[in-house]
Structure 1
Amino acid sequence: MEDILIPKERRDAVVLIGVDRGENVEFIKVYAVSEEKAEETLEAFLNAKGLFPADYRLVGRGSEEVGDRKAITTKSEEKLSSSLARLGLRLLSNGVLYLDGIERVYQLTLVSEKLYAKLRRMRESQGVKKRGGSLSISSALSLGLHTLIVNWRGINVEPLVPEDATLLREPSPAEVLEAMKTSPQVVVETVFPEKYFAVPFGVRIKIPPLSKEEFARELEDRIGVQVDENMLDDYPAELLNYRSIESIAHIVEELLKMGVDKEKALETAIFVNLGFVPSDFRLED
């Protein structure tokens, strides 16, 4: 493949790369009509550029539906381009891959050891606000890498997950590895990250739990009753999330229907969410 580096119209495979200011290749994504063609193209590209495979990590592979796309270009990969730009990289390609008559494409995604280390340093990002060198959740997901989301805050991440990605909630490591064989991007949502220490995720995002103050204010807004932060002293950090807020609110609503006053309903709901019922709580028949 002598013309692998020459930008041109293509029908079999295209290579997208992210380069830094020194023109070093830190990110590689290959789209091809088959797995074999993708691997062949990647090998040819690395050889032509004089790059060493050992300097890169394979963080994503698998087939995906073409959908309504007519071609794969740097312009069609707008989200990827934006995400790479936030990492200080510029998206380039060796041409355009036309998709006429093609229903599925196979992709390989690699990152340099340098970029991989940078992404790992970013994994502590809350993902709620962009600060300094951190990425938002949606930006991190748009990189197309297999991603672990440690969702201790209990936010709904589903709307942020790309359409062609596979979202799994608390799967076994074996299920994740199996999904990685066929899906171009696997996104795992968990509150038990230690289960996946041996799984090769390209990005790991930790969303911390709410603080007691944040939890109290969010709960107040939800149920319309003032919440004293001291009521949360026994709450473990893993329960300070939006799922607990919804559960408490539901319990409060049901107790109010039974005639329990708001303050007592709130106190009881908090204890019930913890797995206890106050010993002095009684419902009169």
Structure 2
Amino acid sequence: MEDILIPKERHDAVVLIGVDRGENVEFIKVYAVSEEKAKQTLEEFFSAKGLFPGDYRLVSRGSEEVGERKAITTKSEASLSASLARLGLRLLSNGVLYLEGVERIYQFTLVSEALYQRITFEKGEDVKEEPVPEFEPLDVFSLGVDVLVENLRGTELGEVLPPDTVLLREPPLKEVYELLEKERDFPIVVETKDAGKYSSLDFPAIVRLPPLTVEEFAAELSERLGFRVEPERFLDYPPERLNLRNVDALARLVRALMARKRLSPEEALSLAVRLNLGGP
């Protein structure tokens, strides 16, 4: 059984782990040629390392296409390695899994309770409103787990998600529940402006992207228009309007007013702000 801890060339399963400075195993990912082999390998790894399954949460499981990959190594998992590094963890493995002749592989992903609490919200009356500062949303997505994103910033999530991820915007609760319950070969990301709608569901990770500050909003608009816009113009803006999508919308409106009404930048901006807020 100790063989599972020895790094070597493998053809049935490989174990990737994230360890902290004290060599504690905080993250486990098993790739195998079948679900049965993945389960067996995980059990053997727990036993050989003296770890307790109850100390870990299963956050992702399922099969996936091998595609063009020839092998799975710590080098081939560069995105995962970078994400774990930002959490203060090193990515290690028990060898190389060669994929010649293999079309699909099965994976289990587990995180320790301590790591789980770092990348998720505590549920209950006092819900935290900020994600872990040192763990960016992109890092969460690269872990291959299901994520609920309360996107008040208007970030285009499709541009930062791994290619095998399914993005759902404000989907019906029933649809999300059914997806979370069934076995899949892809993670899902649910984007919403109201995370409370999905509070009854258990997502491995929940991320909140707060609205832009008035300074950030003005800076983004300045960049798009090519001239400085003062933050003071947006002090009366409601938080739900301080997002990147509204920055783009407001910039289009300003340019249209300048081009079609031949207004100066200052005149166009002043009128656009009033129109953007629904004013006269």
Report the CA distance shift for 1:174/1:48 in structure 2 as closer, same or farther (over 3 A).
farther
Are the counterparts in 1 of residues 119 and 135 from structure 2 also a CA contact under 8 Å? no
CA RMSD of aligned residues (A): 2.8
Tell me if 1:245 matches 2:227: no
State the AA in 2 paired with 1:160.
Answer: V
**Structure 1 SS opposite 2:88:** coil
Q: 2 CA distance for matches of 1:201 and 1:99?
A: 31
| Secondary structure of 2:184 counterpart | coil
Match of 2:216 in 1: 214
Output one character per residue of 1:228-260: Cα deviation in whole Å (capped at 9) or x when no partner: 545434421121011111112223333344426
C-alpha distance in structure 1 between counterparts of 2:38 and 2:157, whole Å = 31
Instruction: Tell me the distance in 2 between the aligned counterparts of 1:226 and 1:84.
Output: 39
Query: Residue 8 of structure 1 aligns with which residue?
Result: 8
Structure 1: stretches of 5+ with no match in the other structure: 127-132, 279-285
Amino acid at match of 1:266: L
Aligned-residue offset at 1:224: 4.9
Q: TM-score, normalised by structure 2?
A: 0.83
Q: Deviations over 1:154-193 (max 9, x none)?
A: 1233232122332332233443444453144323333222
Q: Relative to structure 1, is the Cα distance of residues 202 and 123 closer, same or farther in structure 2, using a 3 angstrom cutoff?
A: farther
Sequence identity percentage: 56
Deviation per CA, 1:84-127, whole angstroms, max 9, x where unpaired?
2222222222222111122221211110101112223798258x
Return the alpha-carbon distance in structure 1 between the equivalents of residues 228 and 88 of structure 2.
Answer: 46
Name whichever of 102-111 and 137-146 sits farther off.
Answer: 137-146
Deviation at 1:71, TM superposition (A): 0.7
The residue type equivalent to 1:261 in the other structure is L
The answer to whether structure 1 residue 124 and structure 2 residue 130 are counterparts is: yes
Between 242-251 and 133-142, report the one with greater CA deviation. Answer: 133-142
Relative to structure 1, is the Cα distance of residues 82 and 232 closer, same or farther in structure 2, using a 3 angstrom cutoff? closer
- Residue of structure 2 in register with 1:204 after alignment: 206
The residue aligned with 1:105 is 105
Which of 264, 268, 272 does residue 269 from structure 1 map onto? Answer: 272
Aligned length: 271
Which segment drifts farther, 229-238 or 104-113?
A: 229-238
Tell me the equivalent position of 2:125. none
Answer yes or no: is the 8 Å Cα contact 1:71–1:98 preserved in 2.
yes
2:273 partner amino acid: I
The 8 Å contact of residues 131 and 208 in structure 2, kept in 1 or not, is answered as yes
Deviations 1:263-283 (A, max 9, x none): 554344334333x240xxxxx
**Residue 120 of structure 1 contacts residue 204 of structure 1 at CA under 8 Å; is this kept in 2?**
yes
| Equivalent position of 2:88 in the other structure | 88
Hey, what's the Cα distance between the residues in 1 that align with 2:92 and 2:228? Answer: 54
Alignment of 1:152-231 (within 5 A): 152-180=152-180, 181-224=183-226, 227=229, 229-231=231-233
Measured in 1, the distance between the counterparts of 2:210 and 2:137 equals 13
Structure 2: stretches of 5+ with no match in the other structure = 122-127
> How many angstroms does 1:22 deviate by?
2.8
Contact 1:165 1:183 in 2 (8 A): no
Query: Using the alignment, how far apart are the partners of 1:177 and 1:15 within structure 2?
Result: 30
Residue identity in the other structure for 2:130? E
